[in-house]
Structure 1
Amino acid sequence: MKIAVFSVTLIDYSIHEAMRIAKQIGFDGIEIAGREPHLSSTTSAPRIREIRSVADGLGLEIPAIGAYVGGFSTASDQECQQAYSDFERILEASGVLGSDMIRVSAGGPTAFLAQDYHYAKSAHWLKKCAEAANAQGKKIVLEIHNNSLVETVESGLRLVGMVGADNMGLIHDAGNMYITDTDYGRESVIQLGNKMFHVHVKDEKRIAEAGGPGTFSNLTKHGTEKFMQCLLGEGAADHQPLFDALKETGYSGWLSLECFAPLPAYERLEHDFNKVKQMLGRARVQSTFETAK
């Protein structure tokens, strides 16, 4: 497994400075956020080539573009067409950057409130994205994310199944799945199987009141809940069972870190990078006896 940083955690820096920080900490790559000042559908071709040149010079791979395009399920037809056009430009950029995966948003509402027509409309446009990406040898990834159609393994697999494209899969995100209050350990990895294309890593915990730095509110199946963004290992989303399962299943893809704890960027990212390496070192494969218990 290789470790990348998701550049949205460094959005206050230029993409050049973000890559320099990633290299200094020791990351293998950088997942580029598809929003300015890092990258967008309006980024010029010369600037995209410059980003690739800087990454190559630092020895950083760019495994994915975390694009902020899509949202098809609740958008008008005109808005969907514009989102698809934006996606096409990001797809073109991915070829220059050497990125294998492009994240696209399925849209909302949160899965426990969604209707069949939300999934049907999203699937229609996502299929167009998948077909265009497949023609370029690229993959589309949907992030398992609270407040979206894809907030659990089950809802994610439902939508991916409706699209029916081999090059479309899911991003496992234990932090998001903790918020949703759905399984994010071994069973989630087994259930996703070969549809788990990518993994995001961050930690959070439930709190009584929000309002301070790093806190936020979110609608879940339990109502409006409050959360705190934490350093890995200091929140309530235990990632060790996930890492154990990744080792057990032979996952050889990327882990992309996106810590938003209210600390200086270098400090929080360096902590999570070192913590992930420590936890991967402790990862172990379950024995047949343990699995059967």
Structure 2
Amino acid sequence: MKLSVFTVVTPELTPEELVLAARRAGLDGVEWRFREIPAEAAGEAPSFWRHNKCSIDPSLPEEAWLRFKDITEAQGLEVVSVTPYLNSLDLEETERAFRAARLLGADMIRVGAAAYDGSRPYPDLYEATVRYLKEAETMAKHYGVKGVVETHHNTIAPSAGLTHRLVSHCSPDHIGVLFDPGNMVHEGYENFKMGLELLGPYLAHVHIKNAAWVPASPRGDGTSGWRSDWAPLAQGFVDFRLLLADLKSVGYDGYLGIEDFSGQYASGDLLAAYAQFIRERMEI
């Protein structure tokens, strides 16, 4: 298995600083965040989801995207993916991401699954997402780039089982799954090995982060409340020794992408600490 970084977690680094830090940490690839910085966020401190300097702006001319391919490959790294936010199921935005991935030589993009907040029935969202994924599959064939659906809380794909239900309408050659056990701590937990066995050929990528449930403020009726929150890799619910063993048991040999939101480390330190953390556990 190889190591990568999803640049959402390095918001204060420029792209050039990121690829240098990734090479020094011994990583193998980069997953480029594909999202513009909102105009009103430009004066804010760097942050994961708003003022993220380590992102490709989709509105730039396509020739400007090539900078990210050039600086990545100049450090001996692979462009693993172009990673947009497509839960609105927008096909025009999806095709733009496929074009960017082909231009940069990436193997995959993250495609969407409908968000779920209870305002629309699951069956309606399921049908809309399946229609979208079939269109995305056609694009994937055309561009030669796989689309992956991430297991993610607050969507209709929070678990391996529900994600498999969506992608099973498509060929695993073109539509796969980004397995994210850290997200599944918040919502969608299943036995990881069972989920990986279910996904089979659809398993295309893995994200590495951790989370935990902690006591929340007592409710008005005196009962206890709980909330989920991000946690450092070594301190959350996910046992990474076990996860790595489970991945090996199903023959996974792809990328493990760091997406740590705990804030334990500054970006440059995070990559080196991540590489050491995972490689120590790979040896056990």
TM bracket, shorter-chain basis:
0.7 to 0.9
Q: 1:184 to 1:172 in 2, by over 3 A?
A: farther
The match for 1:89 is 96
1-side partners of 2:191 and 2:61: how far apart?
39
Structure 2: which 5+ runs fail to align? 37-52, 218-223
2-side partners of 1:10 and 1:252: how far apart?
25
2-side partners of 1:181 and 1:89: how far apart?
30
Q: Is the 8 A contact 2:87 2:115 kept in 1?
A: no
The match for 2:69 is 52
Structure (1/2) with the larger helix percentage:
1
Q: Is the 8 A contact 1:55 1:61 kept in 2?
A: yes
The match for 1:9 is 9
Q: How many residue pairs align between the two structures?
A: 259
Q: 1:278 aligns with which of 273, 277, 280?
A: 280
2-side partners of 1:49 and 1:34: how far apart?
13
1:168 shift after superposition: 0.6
Structure 1: which 5+ runs fail to align? 73-82, 211-222, 283-293
Q: 1:177 aligns with which of 176, 184, 190?
A: 184
Query: 1:40-91 CA distances to partner (integer Å, 9 max, x unpaired)?
Result: 321322321111111111011011112112423xxxxxxxxxx211221211
Q: 1:128 to 1:29 in 2, by over 3 A?
A: same
Q: 1:109 to 1:181 in 2, by over 3 A?
A: closer
SS for the counterpart of 1:62 is strand
The match for 1:236 is 237
Q: Is the 8 A contact 2:133 2:170 kept in 1?
A: yes
1:164 shift after superposition: 5.3
1:16 shift after superposition: 2.1
- Alignment map for 1:98-137 (pairs within 5 Å): 98-109=105-116, 114-137=121-144
Query: 1:184-214 CA distances to partner (integer Å, 9 max, x unpaired)?
Result: 522121111111111011011111249xxxx
Q: Is the 8 A contact 1:203 1:234 kept in 2?
A: yes
Moved over 3 A (4+): 162-166
The match for 2:48 is none
2-side partners of 1:181 and 1:29: how far apart?
28
* Cα RMSD (Å): 2.1
2-side partners of 1:110 and 1:246: how far apart?
31
Query: 1:240-290 CA distances to partner (integer Å, 9 max, x unpaired)?
Result: 2221021122211111111112232223332222111111111xxxxxxxx
Q: Is the 8 A contact 2:2 2:256 kept in 1?
A: yes
1:162 shift after superposition: 3.4
Instruction: Name the stretch that deviates more: 51-60 or 18-27.
Output: 18-27
Q: 1:257 to 1:236 in 2, by over 3 A?
A: same
Percent of residue pairs bearing the same amino acid type: 25
- Alignment map for 1:222-261 (pairs within 5 Å): 225-261=226-262
Q: TM-score, normalised by structure 2?
A: 0.84
Q: Is the 8 A contact 2:13 2:267 kept in 1?
A: no
1-side partners of 2:183 and 2:168: how far apart?
21
1-side partners of 2:18 and 2:110: how far apart?
20
2-side partners of 1:101 and 1:124: how far apart?
20
